[in-house]
């Protein structure tokens, strides 16, 4: 018996839930986002079915752009409670297996299992999820979370793939470094400047070079990830949100600082009220501003003293953070995030 990690990744989850509710949409391009009206400005795609993705529709794209790329798409309003309920059914199904279960979001989970045949286990899991929920999933089998995560990408849609450290470099070495789980665009830009373009390049980089440019801790993590090393633990504790956020997109760009501040203050109080109602406390407050150019900086501050439930303090912090922005350009969107105490 060996310890294996399975990464369960539901296929086109939100779109799939909508198709289950509307079987007549099966096989058609489906786009979910906002209130489902692509004629309204400033609404974005939450998810798109594979059929819609074939036309270039992607998450985060304005609904109006999606409608131009795929005029025959069916546009639907987002319904988070339905997706939460569907996710709960999936996770309850996974919990029936003799595994350690770590819920990793609405549509993802890691399973840890001592087994002689992890692929056979994956086959059983995939069948059980489909039978119990009607939802398809891809399953990656690996000897750690990183290999399992990437294996699931190879398995999409609806398949099973096994990837281990022994087979890692053959599968991943030639791929761009930016395809590594957790490596974002800013890191890619810095890696490219160093001539480290592929996973193999990064795996072969000297520890001294990576430590110099990324710090010892991040540099070590980058090198280990590029070599297929990852965490093998599975945290079975119930998932608890570490932060919460709200944002609003304006129908027309705002230039009046007082109006912008009023929206930020309202978001902060609304967000804080929900946090307090759930018995949580706030430690940090962050504000995001998206300008008309789509440049979207975020600034944050730590609250003084102990974590708080004081809505006035949360609002004051949000206003203080907003004051750090240069608001000379038109503003398209503002958002507020609160980081929460974990006790």
Among all residues, which ones are annotated catalytic?
108
**Distance between CA atoms of 248 and 47, rounded to whole angstroms?**
19
The torsion region of residue 31 among left (phi > 0), alpha (psi -120 to 50) and beta comes to beta
Q: In the beta sheet, which residues pair with residue 73?
A: none
- Alpha helix locations (H) across the chain? 13-21, 50-53, 63-69, 80-94, 118-133, 145-155, 165-172, 185-193, 199-203, 207-214, 216-226, 257-277, 311-322
Sheet containing 160-163: order of strands: 100-103, 108-115, 2-10, 137-142, 160-163
**C-beta separation of 225 from 146 below 8 A:** yes
For residue 157, is the peptide bond before it cis, meaning its omega torsion is within 30 degrees of 0?
yes
| Distant-in-sequence, close-in-space partners of 260: CB < 8 Å, separation ≥ 6 | 254, 289, 322, 327, 331, 334
């Amino acid at each position: 018996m060996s310890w294996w990690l399975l990464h369960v990744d539901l296929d086109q989850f939100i779109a799939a839930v909508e198709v289950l509710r509307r079987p007549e949409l099966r096989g058609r391009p489906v786009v979910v986002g906002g209130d489902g009206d692509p004629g309204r400005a400033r609404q974005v795609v939450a998810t798109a079915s594979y059929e819609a993705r074939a036309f270039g529709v992607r998450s985060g794209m304005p609904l109006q752009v999606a409608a131009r790329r795929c005029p025959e798409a069916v546009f639907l309003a987002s319904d988070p409670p339905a997706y939460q309920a569907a996710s709960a059914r999936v996770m309850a199904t996974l919990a029936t297996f003799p595994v350690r279960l770590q819920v990793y979001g609405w549509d993802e989970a890691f399973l840890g299992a001592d087994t002689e045949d992890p692929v056979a286990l994956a086959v059983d899991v995939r069948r059980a999820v489909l039978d119990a929920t009607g939802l398809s999933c891809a399953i990656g089998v690996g000897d750690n979370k990183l290999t399992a995560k990437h294996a699931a990408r190879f398995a999409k849609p609806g398949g099973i793939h096994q990837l281990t450290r022994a087979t890692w470099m053959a599968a991943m070495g030639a791929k761009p470094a930016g395809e590594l789980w957790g490596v974002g665009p800013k890191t890619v830009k810095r890696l490219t400047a160093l001539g480290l373009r592929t996973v193999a390049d990064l795996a072969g980089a000297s520890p001294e070079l990576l430590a110099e440019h990324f710090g010892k801790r991040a540099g070590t993590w980058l090198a280990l990830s590029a070599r297929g090393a990852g965490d093998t633990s599975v945290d079975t504790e119930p998932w608890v949100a570490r932060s919460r956020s709200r944002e609003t997109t304006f129908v027309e760009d705002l230039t009046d600082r007082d109006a912008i501040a009023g929206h930020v203050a309202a978001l902060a109080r609304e967000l804080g009220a929900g946090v307090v109602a759930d018995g949580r406390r706030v430690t940090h407050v962050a504000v995001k501003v998206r300008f008309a150019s789509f440049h979207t900086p975020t600034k944050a501050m730590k609250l003084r003293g102990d974590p708080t439930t004081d809505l006035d303090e949360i609002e004051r912090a949000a206003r203080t953070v907003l004051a750090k922005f240069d608001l000379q350009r038109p503003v398209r969107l503002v958002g507020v995030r609160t980081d929460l105490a974990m006790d």
